[in-house]
């Protein structure tokens, strides 16, 4: 209204006043536009900053900054090499078992539990069993407990599928060594994490694995994705791996990688080496893709929940 009245003013200064008002309006509009642009630019900077922070956090979990916890060429003996980390909250979602549920968390490596000769015997067991079938992709498993064996894109039960012929593949001595080695691994886990070994139970899945560089055919072949054992298998409390082949000479790639926020921490497989860790998100991990050769290992899993316990395998 003030602008309208001034436009009707007939005084000698009316035109000058109107020009100043128009200039003032233009300046205010320009200022408002600049403020809007400034706010938009600030918002873009903040958004880019958030995106960059998120990207840095994610990439930090798979950083090129790698610490090798155990080189293939070294022998870690007689005591395990232990790397402690704070326990995650994962275990709070499950019933707690005093004397077993993780209170002390971390990962450890030892070369003193299983001899290289014993590892070779177990590797030959795995080779004979997996020669019966095997996956079409790069990852095959053999579970002596359930009888599960990779066959093409599926699994079969070796005890039902092959019947009595399975005694031509495995021996009682094979199974006795398997049970003995399981007991040694269970004992070193209990000792390292201050557990009552009688409260720690073998659980499923516990299995042999054979990995090569054949392209994946199903999701079961995609072993390289980061994962948390306690999330994948709620019964897991402690996970162990017994390596049956050597990184660098039997295969390349295939290293075991703990993905921490500040660095990757890597274990290089060595025949007879046992790597073990608490199974929660404090030990997010993955396996590198195997690029050459064949990697053999046994995953031996333990629970504190007796309802999820499994027995040692027996030859039918």
Catalytic residue positions, numbered? 295
Please state, in angstroms and rounded to a whole number, the distance separating the CA atoms of residues 4 and 24.
Answer: 15
Please state, in angstroms and rounded to a whole number, the distance separating the CA atoms of residues 232 and 104.
Answer: 21
Please state, in angstroms and rounded to a whole number, the distance separating the CA atoms of residues 43 and 168.
Answer: 71
Give the angle 242-260-252 at the CA atoms, nearest 5°: 45
**Using an 8 Å Cβ cutoff, are 212 and 140 in contact?**
no
Please state, in angstroms and rounded to a whole number, the distance separating the CA atoms of residues 157 and 232.
Answer: 23
Token couple for 31? 């200022």
96: left (phi over 0), alpha (psi -120 to 50) or beta: beta
Residue 86 per-residue DSSP state: -
Please state, in angstroms and rounded to a whole number, the distance separating the CA atoms of residues 165 and 177.
Answer: 21
CA separation, residue 39 to residues 32, 51, 216 (Å): 10, 18, 49
76-98 residues labelled b (16+ CB within 10 A) or e (exposed): beeebbebebebbebbeeeeebe
Q: Which of 303, 295, 179 minimizes the C-alpha distance to 229?
A: 303
What angle, 0 to 180 degrees and rounded to 10, lies between the N-to-C axes of helices 116-130 and 172-192?
120
User: DSSP of 255-266, one letter per residue?
Assistant: -EEEE-SS-EEE
């Amino acid at each position: 209204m003030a602008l309208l009245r001034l436009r009707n003013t007939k005084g000698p200064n009316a035109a000058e006043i109107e020009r100043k008002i128009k200039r003032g309006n233009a300046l205010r509009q320009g200022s408002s536009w600049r403020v809007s642009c400034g706010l938009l630019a600030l918002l873009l900077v903040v958004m880019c900053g958030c995106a960059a922070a998120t990207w840095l956090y994610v990439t930090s979990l798979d950083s090129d900054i790698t610490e090798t916890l155990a080189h293939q060429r070294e022998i870690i003996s007689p005591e395990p090499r232990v790397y402690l980390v704070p326990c995650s909250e994962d275990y709070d979602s499950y019933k707690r078992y005093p004397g077993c549920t993780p209170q002390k968390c971390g990962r450890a490596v030892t070369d003193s539990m299983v001899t290289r000769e014993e590892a070779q015997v177990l590797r030959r067991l795995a080779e004979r069993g997996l020669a019966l079938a095997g996956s079409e992709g790069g990852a095959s498993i053999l579970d002596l407990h359930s009888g599960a064996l990779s066959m093409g894109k599926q699994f079969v039960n070796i005890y039902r599928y092959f019947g009595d012929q399975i005694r031509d593949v495995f021996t009682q001595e094979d199974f006795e060594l398997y049970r003995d080695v399981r007991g040694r691994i269970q004992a070193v886990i209990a000792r390292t994490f201050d557990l009552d070994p009688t409260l720690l139970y073998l659980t499923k899945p516990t299995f042999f694995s054979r990995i090569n560089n054949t392209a994946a055919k199903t999701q079961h072949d995609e072993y390289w994705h980061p994962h948390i054992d306690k999330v994948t298998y709620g019964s897991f409390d402690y996970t162990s791996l017994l390596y049956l082949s050597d990184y660098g000479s039997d295969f390349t790639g295939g290293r075991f990688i703990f993905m921490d926020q500040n660095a990757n921490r890597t274990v290089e497989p060595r025949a007879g080496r046992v790597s073990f860790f608490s199974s929660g998100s404090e030990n997010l991990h993955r396996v590198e893709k195997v690029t050459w050769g064949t990697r053999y290992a046994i995953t031996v899993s333990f629970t504190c929940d007796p309802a999820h316990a499994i027995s040692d395998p027996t030859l039918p």
